[in-house]
Amino acid sequence: MADVTGEDRRSANGVVARFWEGRWHLLAGLAAVLVVYDFGGAAWALPLALVLVLAAAFVPTMRPQRVAEKARVVEAEGLQRLSGEYLAAAVADPLIIFDGATTVVHANAAAFAAFGGMAPGLSLPLKFRAPEMQALLDSVVSGKVASDAVDYVEKLPVERVYRVSASSVGHGTELYVLVFKDQSETRRIDRMRADFIANASHELRTPLASIAGFIETLRGPARNDPAAREQFLQIMQNQTSRMARLIDDLLSLSRLEMKAYLKPGARVDLRQTLESVIDSLAPLARDGGLVVERDFVEGALDVPGDRDELFQVFENLLENACKYGQSGGRVLVTVARSTAGPEPTVDVTIRDFGPGIAEEHIPRITERFYRVDVETSRAQKGTGLGLSIVKHILTRHHARISIRSEIGKGAAFTVHLPAN
């Protein structure tokens, strides 16, 4: 038997009521015709008119009542078929049903996955020893409150933050329910947002403080010192350039996040793009005493993407290699085709032979404002956002980046672009 919702019942009742209201008018009209025309004085006309009037008076009130009663029976039968186990299984969040002794009566699959063994009869105060969970269980079981909620942190195997709500089930059942709403991702995003604002504020405050200090000096002790004035103005210009680079990178990140799911629709000549990047950074490489070497596979190297964004990716990676790998004397740019993954890719590797990156830094190196060496990065006019921009662009291109490095042997950044 199909389930009947409240909306369905109301709709059905409305249709039936309108139908029988129309039937009432029809019956009343027929009765009037019989009475007025009397059909030649037929003996059966008047009794039939009376029957029609009585039918019009009683039938409309009886039929909708029977429909409503039938709907109530359907609803009752449908609810009887539902059990607490089925309802708990339909909930995606961890859900635990427990009794007045705070022992587990039933736990759904999500609860087993999140907290391990949750067999019936398990004591919840022994399973969840945090003070806030003990207080939540006590307040609900004791009847002080009908429902309550607390924040709970599960430490192992990984840290998870839950919003836990507890409430009684029905009236007189002496059963209660715990529902765990995972807040870990929300908390992580909030923490990232707070860290981002703090880092951006710090990065802007430092050059602003420097500029303010030099302005004060130029208006005071160095007012009539041409040499000091020239030196301070040069430093101030460098600091304003640093702020401008930071703002440009922040705007780039913002634009990329706004179109993160907009797939590029053009095709890019990767060979020509890489040649343009190498040519544009030739002065930087030359000033650092570096030689940029090429090792490109033969044939066409067209890939789907946005040329300006891919240019920004390779420019950023090659610029980092030139800045931080100067001691190696050379940078190698390699392009190769790969069929190692589920789909063919074109892999672009930019490798330097400098000091390399310690292994513990590699997983976090694409985070915003993360720096392996803060002083070296600032000395090289880095904003700490370059690799984060690279990651966002590659995500939009359904591509990825892999990083290999060994201390003393340089670092290699490989961009894996889909070939099709």
pLDDT greater than 80 at residue 88? no
Same domain, residue pair 385 and 307: yes
- Report for 7-11, 126-130, 143-147, 192-196: range of highest mean pLDDT: 126-130
Report yes or no: 250 and 200 within 8 Å, Cβ to Cβ: yes
Task: Quote the number of domains for the chain.
Answer: 4
Look at residue 19 in the predicted model and tell me its pLDDT: 46
Same domain, residue pair 390 and 304: yes
Average pLDDT of span 72-94: 67
Structure-token match 């059909």, residue found:
39
Q: Among positive and negative, which fits the CA dihedral 35, 39, 41, 44?
A: negative
pLDDT greater than 80 at residue 316? yes
Average pLDDT of span 106-127: 88
Q: Which domain holds residue 48?
A: 6-81
Single residue among 239, 258, 277 that ends a domain in this structure = 258
Q: Read out DSSP for 192-254?
A: HHHHHHHHHHHHHHHHHHHHHHHHHHHHTTTTT-HHHHHHHHHHHHHHHHHHHHHHHHHHHHH
44-53, 144-153, 235-244, 394-403: which has the minimum mean pLDDT? Answer: 44-53
Same domain, residue pair 155 and 199: no
45-54, 188-197, 356-365: which has the minimum mean pLDDT? Answer: 45-54
- The answer to the question of residue 135 being in a domain is yes
By DSSP bridging, strand 104-107 and strand 95-99 are antiparallel
Same domain, residue pair 203 and 178: no
Average pLDDT of span 14-20: 48
Residue scoring higher pLDDT (111 or 10): 111
CA dihedral 5, 6, 12, 16 (to 10 degrees): 150
Residue scoring higher pLDDT (416 or 28): 416
pLDDT greater than 90 at residue 351? yes
**What CATH number is associated with residue 236?**
1.10.287.130
Same domain, residue pair 278 and 359: yes
The whole-chain average pLDDT of the chain stands at 79
- The answer to the question of residue 189 being in a domain is no
Look at residue 334 in the predicted model and tell me its pLDDT: 92
pLDDT tens-digit map of 354-393? 888 888 888 888 887 777 776 666 666 667 788 888 888 8
Look at residue 323 in the predicted model and tell me its pLDDT: 86
Report yes or no: 106 and 97 within 8 Å, Cβ to Cβ: yes
Look at residue 179 in the predicted model and tell me its pLDDT: 94
Per cent of the chain over pLDDT 70 is 77
Residues, the chain: 420
Report yes or no: 241 and 274 within 8 Å, Cβ to Cβ: no
Single residue among 147, 182, 217 that ends a domain in this structure = 182
Residue scoring higher pLDDT (181 or 255): 181
d(CA 246, CA 221): 31
Look at residue 328 in the predicted model and tell me its pLDDT: 79
Same domain, residue pair 302 and 404: yes
Look at residue 342 in the predicted model and tell me its pLDDT: 79
- The answer to the question of residue 190 being in a domain is no
Per cent of the chain over pLDDT 90 is 17
pLDDT greater than 60 at residue 62? no
pLDDT greater than 60 at residue 55? no
- The answer to the question of residue 1 being in a domain is no
Report yes or no: 288 and 317 within 8 Å, Cβ to Cβ: no
